[in-house]
Amino acid sequence: MLPPTGEVFVGDTFRPAADATVSVFDHGLLYGDGIFEGIRAYSGLVFKLDRHVDRLFDSARAIRLDMPYSRSEVAALVLEACRRNAIVDGYVRLVVTRGPGDLTLDPRSCARGVMTIIARPAAALARHRDARKPAIVVTSSFRRPAADALCPSIKSLNYLNNVLARIEANDRGADEALLLDSSGYVAEGTADNIFIVTDRGLATPPTISTLKGITRETMFEIASEIGLAREERLLTLYDVWTAREVFLCGTFAEIVPVGTVDGRAIGNGAPGPTTMRVMAAYERIVRSMGTPIDQAMAGSTTVGYRV
C-alpha cells in the first residue's frame, strides 16, 4: 500500500490524508451501509462528473440515505479535492456512509451521512497487470446478486461478493473474474462491464444484472460515432467464448482487451481491431471532454468533444 499523501475530504473538511479517519461506529464500516463512486480526471478535466454525481444521488435515494450535501456542493468538492491534490490525471473515490450510530443496523440511530473524497494522481493508481496485455478471465463460481436481492444498480459498499470473485481469480492465476447472474447469463466483471464484438457490432448484457456503468454508456456513444451497431441482450458463456473480440470497461479499468476466457482464446488472443478502435476513441474522448479542475477554466462548465 502507498503511504497516504495529500488531503482528503471527510465529514465537513479537508484533512491531511494520514489524519482522515471515520468513526468505528460508522454504519458504513459496521454494516457496509453506504454508497460510492469512482471518477477519473484526464488532462485536467473530470470525466462525466455530473453523471457520477447523479448516479451517487440515485444510489442514495435507493438506500434511503439523506445526502449531507447538494449535487452542486458534491461536484464542487470533487473539483476542490482535485485542486488540493494537484490532480491533472487522477482518480477520485467518493464515499458516503450512513454515519456513526448505535450497534444496531437500524439506521435511525445515525444522525447524518458522512462523505469522504479521496483524490489520487494517476501515477499512484495500483497497477496489478500490464494494461497492454490482453486479460486472462475466468468465470467465477460467485453470482451477481439478483435485482430483487441487492440491486446491481446501487453502487453500494457491499462488494464482498465481488471481492470473493476477485480472490478466486487471483487463486486461478487470472486477471479478472466474470460473474454470471442468478440465471446463469453473463453479468459483468468484479468492477467492470463486459462487451463482446460480433459480426453485427457491440453487444453487452442488460443492466438488470449489472451496474449501470458510465464507461458502458460511453461505449454506446463511441459505437454511434464510429458506426458500430450496439445491442443490449442476454449473453451466455458460449457467446463470450466464441465472440470475435471481448473487452471489459470501467472508470478505473478503462478498456481492457480480453485474451482468454476460461482457457479459450478470444479471436487469436491478441486485442482485436474493433477493441483497438474503441480504445483509441475512448482515449480521445476522456482527454477532450469534462469539467475543468482549474478554476481559471471553470467558467465553462463542460468542454465538448468530437471523436
State how far the Cα of 58 lies from the Cα of 46, in Å rounded to an integer. Answer: 20
Among positions 8, 65, 214, 281, the unique one binding ligand PMP when judged by CB under 6 A: 214
| 101 vs 215, beta carbon nearer ligand PMP | 215
| 25 vs 220, beta carbon nearer ligand PMP | 220
Contact status: 188 vs ligand PMP (CB under 6 A): yes
**What DSSP string describes 74-139?**
HHHHHHHHHHHTT-SSEEEEEEEE--B--SSS-GGG--S-EEEEEEEEGGGS---S-TTSPEEEEE
Q: At closest approach, how far in Å is the CB of 275 from ligand PMP?
A: 16
Q: At closest approach, how far in Å is the CB of 162 from ligand PMP?
A: 6
240 with 178: CB under 8 angstroms? yes
Active site residue 155: yes
- Per CB under 6 A, the segment of 2-10, 90-98, 126-134, 210-218 that binds ligand PMP is 210-218
Site for ligand PMP in 16-75 (CB under 6 A): 38
Contact status: 205 vs ligand PMP (CB under 6 A): no
The number of residues that bind ligand PMP (CB under 6 A) is 14
- Per CB under 6 A, the segment of 27-35, 166-174, 189-197, 279-287 that binds ligand PMP is 189-197
Contact status: 118 vs ligand PMP (CB under 6 A): no
CA atoms within 13 A on the CB side of 209: 23
71 with 291: CB under 8 angstroms? no
| 158 vs 198, beta carbon nearer ligand PMP | 158
Among positions 205, 213, 271, 290, the unique one binding ligand PMP when judged by CB under 6 A: 213
Among positions 30, 177, 178, 191, the unique one binding ligand PMP when judged by CB under 6 A: 191
Say what the alpha-carbon torsion angle 40, 98, 58, 74 is, to the nearest 10 degrees: -50
State how far the Cα of 203 lies from the Cα of 234, in Å rounded to an integer. Answer: 9
CA distances from 88 to 16, 18, 220, 250, 297 (A): 19, 22, 26, 19, 13
Residues 152, 153, 154, CA angle at the centre, nearest 5°?
Answer: 90
Q: At closest approach, how far in Å is the CB of 109 from ligand PMP?
A: 29
Binding mask 234-273 toward ligand PMP (x if CB under 6 A, else -) reads ----------------xx----------------------
Q: Which of 78, 121, 117 is nearest to 293 (CA)?
A: 78
Among positions 7, 33, 176, 192, the unique one binding ligand PMP when judged by CB under 6 A: 192
161 with 145: CB under 8 angstroms? yes
State how far the Cα of 142 lies from the Cα of 163, in Å rounded to an integer. Answer: 10
State how far the Cα of 188 lies from the Cα of 253, in Å rounded to an integer. Answer: 13
Q: At closest approach, how far in Å is the CB of 217 from ligand PMP?
A: 8
Contact status: 211 vs ligand PMP (CB under 6 A): yes
Q: At closest approach, how far in Å is the CB of 106 from ligand PMP?
A: 27
State how far the Cα of 307 lies from the Cα of 236, in Å rounded to an integer. Answer: 31
Residues labelled catalytic: 155
User: What is the contact surface with ligand PMP in residues (CB under 6 A)?
Assistant: 38, 162, 188, 191-193, 210-211, 213-216, 250-251
